[in-house]
Structure 1
Amino acid sequence: MGLKENRFTKTFQEEQFPALKAQILEAAGFDIVFNIEWSTLFEDRFLHLYNDSYPKIYFIPIIEAFKSICSDEMGKEALADSLKEIHITNTKDHHNPKNAYSFTDGVLTMDHSPILNAPDVKDRTNVLTELLENNL
């Protein structure tokens, strides 16, 4: 990552990520390890869009899926017993969440493009909720 990307990442981590993480932890009801490969989440020409696209692509779907799953005690317990880590990366520029999400050995991996299909929050939320519910 270059200076522009490092500056953006630092600003996002300090200004937006804490509130998003707090919402995720509140929805889940327990502490979760985040493994975010920030250096993979960039294409220089889209840097100006990431403040909007990161939450829509990576964080809001998690918040909404966790709210749905944890709407009762059974869901809360299942998620707490199964989920150990959230891994966010972009290695293949997936834009379809059915190809971008996986849940294995307690690790939820989101390998999604940081920009493609950003407005499709509901689709990502639905796929994520179904994936987790089928594997908890």
Structure 2
Amino acid sequence: MGLKENRFTKTFQEEQLPQLKAQIIEAAGFDVPLNIEWETLFEDRFMHLYNDSYPKIYFLPLIAALKSITADDMGKEALAESLKEIRITNTKDHHNPRNGFTFSDGVLIIDHSPIINAEKVEERTTVLSELLENNL
């Protein structure tokens, strides 16, 4: 990552990530480790969109899906027993969450383009909810 990406990442980490992380903890019911592979989340030409697209692509669907799972005690227990880490990355520019989201060995991987289909929050929420429900 270059200086521009490092500056953006630092600003995002300081200004938006703490609130998003707090919402993830609240939704999950525990402090699940969050591993964000920042260096994979950039395309220079879209830098101006990331403050809006990162939350919509990676965080808001995750928070909503976790809230759905933990709506009852059974879901809270299953999540706490099974979810060990959340990894956010972009290795293949997936724009369809069914291709980019996986859950295996306690690791939820959100592998999605940081920009494509940003407005489809509800679709990503549904896929994440189904993925977790089917694997917890």
Cα RMSD, aligned residues only? 0.4
In the superposition, the TM-score normalised over structure 2's length comes to 0.99
1:31 Cα deviation after fit? 1.1
Query: Where does residue 23 of structure 2 map in the other structure?
Result: 23
Query: Where does residue 76 of structure 1 map in the other structure?
Result: 76
Query: Where does residue 130 of structure 1 map in the other structure?
Result: 130
Cα offsets for 1:94-122 (capped at 9, x unmatched): 00000010000000001100000000000
Moved over 4 A (4+): none
1:47 Cα deviation after fit? 0.2
Query: Where does residue 38 of structure 1 map in the other structure?
Result: 38
Query: For residues 66 and 110 of structure 1, what CA distance do their matches in structure 2 show?
Result: 14
**Identity fraction in percent:** 77
Q: What are the ranges of 5 or more consecutive residues in structure 2 without an aligned counterpart? A: none
Query: For residues 2 and 87 of structure 1, what CA distance do their matches in structure 2 show?
Result: 22
- Paired residues in the alignment total 136
Q: What are the ranges of 5 or more consecutive residues in structure 1 without an aligned counterpart? A: none
1:4 Cα deviation after fit? 0.6
Cα offsets for 1:66-100 (capped at 9, x unmatched): 11110000000000000000001001000000001
Cα offsets for 1:28-67 (capped at 9, x unmatched): 1111111110000000000000000000000001100011
Query: For residues 19 and 66 of structure 1, what CA distance do their matches in structure 2 show?
Result: 16
